[in-house]
Amino acid sequence: MYALKTTPEDFVVDEVLDQALLARKGFSREAQRGARYRYYLMRKRSCTTEQAVELVCAKLGLPRKAAGYAGLKDRDAVTSQLISIDSAAARRLPVSLDLGLRERKVRIEQAGTADERLTLGDLAGNRFTIRIVSMDADERERLASLKRSERRGELTVLFPNRYGPQRFSRANVEVGRLLLSGDFRGACGLLIRHDRENGPAIAAHLAASPNGHIAALRLLPKRILSLYPHAVQSMLFNRTLDILWGAPGGDTAVLKGRRLPLIGFGTDLDGLEKDGTIDATVKEACAKAMWEEGLTRESFILRPLPQLSVEGGMRDALAKADVASADAASGTVRFTLGKGQYATVFVQAVMEGKIFIGAEPGDTA
């Protein structure tokens, strides 16, 4: 059975920037006098993007809200990405900064200036260099097959667009379920046990106010707290994909060209079928996933914490990887994914043979 991330250096992630969007933000690699934001290239090892940004802000004496970024990068990895820092938040910003605590390493280097801050989603995708270890014979052959295809110039690989394990962490779905069911006491208990960063603050608040569970939850930044109900939404999406894949004839062909609902309070499956956004097969798969999990669209309305209510949306059933190289001997594969897609999911799909190499199923040259 294959393994990933045996060392951070085996999982390298480089952010791919949306150049047109950066231009609209007034980004310039040459520092511009009077620019509101300073952009830095941040390289990190063995920590989350949020942890790295918090470390940088603390070192510079800045409030956390002074910094922004376009996407979350893997924790157990070596990654690079742009961050923005509000120039008005500090008298002096450094050209570069090195930080480290045990295995965690963070370095920032000035990359330019801009008129607007970076926000989540301001990227085109990510480029990965990953080493896969401990492959069995079948898994190694599947990677070798990818290499043979790459030699023929077939660099496009389609695979099920699942959410990866990073989305769920250790207890994200469980906390999300408790929030959606209104069990705020239970949600606080799980966070105290599993969230080493925010759990102590929740515990301290409840020690002073034993019934203040909603107020304790509000101590967490919205960007953190919203991860939990969205984890439930992501779990439902993955389950819908599994149901479709397990249907008679289910493979990448049955998923081709489909967009699947991200269930939320605004998701009307009947309406989506009526207007042709989804067909009966997708509607039935979504309904089955919701029934299995005991959820309805109304489950995603959190009246005591309305800022966490999840409206819903749509997501492609298939993702596309642009493969640059694959080497079965070393286990190294290099590829690029769009934003919101997961390298761990791509590797799993390759190892399990759940991919389609070349043009989309059914397409003709």
- Band of residue 357 on the pLDDT scale cut at 50, 70, 90: confident
Q: Is residue 50 part of a domain?
A: yes
Beta bridge partners of 69: 83
pLDDT at 154: 55
Beta bridge partners of 43: 80, 107
Pair (253, 350) in one structural domain:
yes
Rounded CA separation 316/224 (Å): 25
Structure tokens at 347: 């590797």
pLDDT at 362: 42
Pair (265, 184) in one structural domain:
no
Pair (279, 191) in one structural domain:
no
- Mean pLDDT across the stretch 351-361? 76
Pair (107, 223) in one structural domain:
no
Which residue, 230, 250, 265, sits at the end of a domain?
A: 230
Residue 31 or residue 181, greater confidence: 181
Structure tokens at 174: 């469980």
Query: How high is the mean pLDDT of the chain?
Result: 91
Question: Position of tokens 């989506």?
Answer: 272
Pair (259, 148) in one structural domain:
yes
Which residue, 230, 248, 266, sits at the end of a domain?
A: 230
Query: Would the pLDDT of 266 be above 80?
Result: yes
- Mean pLDDT across the stretch 100-110? 85
Dihedral sign (CA 173, 177, 182, 187): negative
Q: How many domains is the chain built from?
A: 3
Rounded CA separation 128/138 (Å): 23
| Residue 24, domain extent | 19-121
Beta bridge partners of 125: 16, 338
- Mean pLDDT across the stretch 81-107? 85
The enclosing domain of 82 has a CATH number of 3.30.70.3160
First to last CA, the chain: 37
Q: Is residue 4 part of a domain?
A: no
Burial class, 352, CB count within 10 angstroms (exposed 0-12 / middle 13-18 / buried 19+): middle
- Mean pLDDT across the stretch 294-318? 96
Interacting residues of 134 by C-beta distance below 8 A, sequence separation 6+: 1, 2, 3
Query: Would the pLDDT of 231 be above 90?
Result: yes
pLDDT at 221: 86
Q: Is residue 363 part of a domain?
A: no
Pair (146, 239) in one structural domain:
yes
For the chain, give percent helix, strand, coil, nearest 5. 40, 25, 35
Pair (351, 217) in one structural domain:
no
Pair (86, 70) in one structural domain:
yes
Rounded CA separation 26/115 (Å): 5
pLDDT at 239: 96
Q: Is residue 224 part of a domain?
A: yes
Which residue, 215, 230, 245, sits at the end of a domain?
A: 230
Pair (253, 106) in one structural domain:
no
- Mean pLDDT across the stretch 20-47? 92
Pair (245, 262) in one structural domain:
yes
Interacting residues of 211 by C-beta distance below 8 A, sequence separation 6+: none
pLDDT at 360: 53
Render pLDDT for 139-183 as a digit per residue (tens, 0 to 9). Answer: 999 999 888 776 666 578 999 999 998 888 879 999 999 999 999
Pair (256, 349) in one structural domain:
yes
Pair (96, 205) in one structural domain:
no
Query: Would the pLDDT of 358 be above 70?
Result: no
Render pLDDT for 182-212 as a digit per residue (tens, 0 to 9). Answer: 999 999 999 999 998 899 999 999 999 999 9
Q: Tell me what percent of the residues of the chain surpass a pLDDT of 90.
A: 77
Q: Is residue 104 part of a domain?
A: yes
Rounded CA separation 47/61 (Å): 20
Q: Is residue 10 part of a domain?
A: no
Residue 94 or residue 289, greater confidence: 289
**HSE-up of residue 172 (Cα within 13 Å, Cβ side):** 19
Interacting residues of 14 by C-beta distance below 8 A, sequence separation 6+: 79, 80, 81, 126, 127, 128
The answer to whether the CB of 156 falls within 8 A of the CB of 322 is yes
The answer to whether the CB of 98 falls within 8 A of the CB of 107 is yes
Q: Is residue 31 part of a domain?
A: yes
Beta strands at 156-160 and 37-45: parallel, antiparallel or unpaired:
unpaired
Query: Would the pLDDT of 249 be above 60?
Result: no
- Band of residue 104 on the pLDDT scale cut at 50, 70, 90: confident
Lowest mean pLDDT among 90-94, 169-173, 263-267, 332-336: 90-94
- Band of residue 363 on the pLDDT scale cut at 50, 70, 90: very low
Query: Would the pLDDT of 361 be above 60?
Result: no
Q: Is residue 349 part of a domain?
A: yes
Residue 22: C-alpha distances to residues 89, 321, 338 (Å):
21, 23, 17
